[in-house]
Amino acid sequence: MAPIALVTGGARRIGARIAHTLHERGCRVLIHYRHSEADAVALADRLNGLRPDSAATLRADLNDPDAVRDLAARALDHFGGMDLLVNNASSFYPTPLADAGDDDWDALMHSNLRAPFLLSQGLAEALARDGGGAIVNIVDVYAEKPLAAHPLYCMAKAGLAMMTKSLARELGPAVRVNGVSPGPILWPEQGGEDQAAILGATALKRAGDPDDIASTVAWLALDAPYVTGQILAVDGGRSLTLAGA
């Protein structure tokens, strides 16, 4: 049977490219979304046009822990199992120390850290069932070297990086857990970073493409049976010089 993959935040941008790439590799994909219903449905329709009954959409608010647990249950029910979890969904915006509030903490910690943990918790047994399951977390280069005025985001992603390593130990050998840390791939819809300066700081002097992330996720999920507990920087060499921004 074709592997079953759940991609959170899979309706648009990098998440959609991950879902499409995994589908090309033969997976059945579950596309999670919160607000982007039209994009999610359009993507699922395109994928089902290529291979019938190979894609579906699931809505959930990742800030709500009960909704996250329900998402895991619905994902398991849809195709009758789970082989791959891609924790891609993320919130990103500045939270300077003087201005950060409880709502900011909830929005950034829940989507970037708690939801991936709860989904991993809810799907771990199914992922382990045939001894070949995988989790791939989309981390960030700023998990290691922080971005100015974004402490909550950086803290959440640092937690996700440690979760990746911790779960690799706990869930092995049945489930492999790895991460991908994107550099400048698609500029965030919020935030005002100096794009030219960031590109100039990469060894390759250019932005990446969503395919760079999607192909790395697919490799870790499907082609790397002896790789676990690793976080691969796909950043054009940005992390070689990054000392905070």
pLDDT score, position 158: 98
- Residues 50 and 190: their CA atoms lie apart, in Å, by 34
The pLDDT tens digits for 76-135 are 999 999 999 999 999 999 999 999 999 999 999 999 999 999 999 999 999 999 778 999
Of all residues in the chain, what percent carry a pLDDT higher than 90? 82
Residues with Cβ within 8 Å of residue 125, at least 6 apart in sequence? none
pTM: 0.94
The residue with tokens 């990103």 is: 92
3-state secondary structure the chain: CCCEEEECCCCCHHHHHHHHHHHHCCCEEEEEECCCHHHHHHHHHHHHHHCCCCEEEEECCCCCHHHHHHHHHHHHHHHCCCCEEEECCCCCCCCCCCCCCHHHHHHHHHHHHHHHHHHHHHHHHHHHCCCCEEEEEECCHHHCCCCCCCHHHHHHHHHHHHHHHHHHHHHCCCEEEEEEEECCCCCCCCCCCCHHHHHHCCCCCCCCCHHHHHHHHHHHHHCCCCCCCCEEEECCCHHHCCCCC
Nearest to residue 136, comparing CAs of 169, 163, 111? 163
How far apart are the C-alpha atoms of 56 and 54, rounded to whole Å? 7
pLDDT per residue as tens digits for the range 194-211: 667 666 776 666 667 899
- At residue 190, the pLDDT reads 41
Q: Annotated catalytic sites, by residue?
A: 153
**Cα 187 off chain centre by:** 16
How close are the terminal C-alpha atoms of the chain, in Å? 46
Query: What residue segments make up the domains of the chain, in order of their start?
Result: 4-240
pLDDT-derived band at 70, boundaries 50, 70, 90: very high
**CATH of segment(s) 4-240:** 3.40.50.720
pLDDT bin (cut points 50, 70, 90) of residue 193 is low
- Are 184 and 195 in contact, with CB atoms under 8 Å apart? yes
Cα–Cα distance between 122 and 124 in angstroms, integer?
6
